[in-house]
Amino acid sequence: MRRVRKAVLPVAGLGTRFLPATKAMPKEMLTVVDRPVIQHAVQEALDSGIEQLIFVTGRGKTAIEDHFDHAFELESTLQSRGKLDALQTVEATNFPPGTIAYVRQQEPLGLGHAVWCARHVIGDEPFAVMLPDDVILGGPPCLSQLLDVYKGLDQSDGASANLIGVEAIELALSRKFGVLDVGQWDSEQRSFSAKGIVEKPEPEDAPSNMAVFGRYILDPSVLTYLDRQERGAGDEIQLTDAIDASIKHGVPTYGRLCEGRRFDCGSKQGFVLANVAYALQDSEISGRLKPAIRALLDDD
Ligand code: G1P
């Protein structure tokens, strides 16, 4: 398999579920404890060996670009005041020039459209897609788990494949996810082959309970199906439909159950839970937080 160097992070969504918090601030900049949601995915990508991040962005998202840039005044103030720990924390969000590329999605036409907007930067090589709403706590970086399995797939020249992070869901929730039509199970790799994939099916139509969450490694041929700009579920251009087309055209596709707990930071409940879970792992605050949370629950 060819090396996966690039990750596409769609960040153009309006974040309407978090209004009014997201009126003047991108939802990706809401914080899970002390860092914005987007930084969790970026760190996961870099820890997994990704070299270039492609943000598919939109109007009102410049705070994301500023976050991953030098903050000259802040840095020099911290330096002159000797606040070196804080300086280090800030400097960790600066990357070498060219590490992040920004592409605009001018219209909100769906996840498939967002990925398609990045096609010229992706080029003709396998790439990752990371949906930053999904924050994963515990285990090795989630994307690196997928990349390890991906490296073990067919090594012959030019071989192509798609590999998708999945989790088992209650069938009643199938309307919120892409769902895989599951083939053969490989218990050693915690993965299975996919015979198809369908976006947001009704529970009675769901081909399995294996749902796509926000981590994918895709063969670039998927972009040719996105070129068709066909609308699917919700009248949007769906990445799921392009992956399904690539499966039907013979690209081997697999789902993998990953270690770690996923939090959907695109929902209020998931976002609050992610904050609690991360805070409980933070040695600086967890000691006093635990009894305080217990007391809150007891009062409830
Ligand atoms: C998107 C994908 C869906 C996937 C989900 C995971 O849907 O289209 O296939 O299961 O992310 O979070 P969205 O949540 O953007 O509607």
pLDDT tens digits along 193-202:
999 999 999 9
pLDDT tens digit sequence for 270-287: 999 999 999 999 999 999
What is the rounded distance in angstroms from the CA atom of residue 109 to the CA atom of residue 115?
A: 11
Tokens for 234, please give them: 């919700």
Is the per-residue pLDDT at 155 higher than 80? no
Q: Are 61 and 11 in contact (CB under 8 A)?
A: yes
Is the per-residue pLDDT at 190 higher than 90? no
> Which position has the token pair 């012959």?
156
> Is the CB–ligand 1 distance for residue 15 below 6 Å?
no
With the most atoms of ligand 1 within 8 angstroms of its CB, the residue from 27, 136, 176, 215 to mutate is 176
Cβ burial of 37 (10 Å; 0-12, 13-18, 19+) is buried
> Is the CB–ligand 1 distance for residue 13 below 6 Å?
no
pTM of the model: 0.94
- Roughly how many angstroms between the first and final C-alpha of the chain, as a whole number? 53
Q: How much is the mean pLDDT over the chain?
A: 93
More confident site: 138 or 77: 77
- Packing angle, helices 142-151 and 37-47, rounded to 10: 30
The CATH class of the 6-299 domain is alpha beta
Q: Are 182 and 244 in contact (CB under 8 A)?
A: no
What is the rounded distance in angstroms from the CA atom of residue 12 to the CA atom of residue 119?
A: 16
Residue nearest atom 15 in ligand 1 by C-alpha distance: 111
> Which value, in Å, is the radius of gyration of the alpha carbons in the chain?
20
With the most atoms of ligand 1 within 8 angstroms of its CB, the residue from 8, 131, 198 to mutate is 131
What percent of the chain lies above the pLDDT cut of 90? 87
- Region 34-54: mean pLDDT is 96
With the most atoms of ligand 1 within 8 angstroms of its CB, the residue from 113, 133, 212 to mutate is 212
Is the per-residue pLDDT at 181 higher than 70? yes
Domain ranges of the chain: 6-299
More confident site: 117 or 299: 117
Q: Which atom of ligand 1 is nearest to the CA of 133?
A: 12
Is the per-residue pLDDT at 154 higher than 80? no
pLDDT tens digit sequence for 97-128: 999 999 999 999 999 999 999 999 999 999 99
Q: Are 199 and 250 in contact (CB under 8 A)?
A: no
Query: Which residues, 6+ apart, have CB-to-CB distance to 286 below 8 Å?
Result: 279, 280
Q: Which atom of ligand 1 is nearest to the CA of 266?
A: 14
> Which position has the token pair 């459209």?
113
pLDDT tier, 49 (very low <50, low <70, confident <90, very high otherwise): very high
pLDDT tens digit sequence for 245-269: 999 999 999 999 999 999 999 999 9
> Is the CB–ligand 1 distance for residue 131 below 6 Å?
yes
Tokens for 264, please give them: 């959907």
Residue 152 has what pLDDT? Answer: 87
Query: Which residues, 6+ apart, have CB-to-CB distance to 171 below 8 Å?
Result: 203, 206, 209
Residue 158 has what pLDDT? Answer: 66
Is the per-residue pLDDT at 22 higher than 70? yes
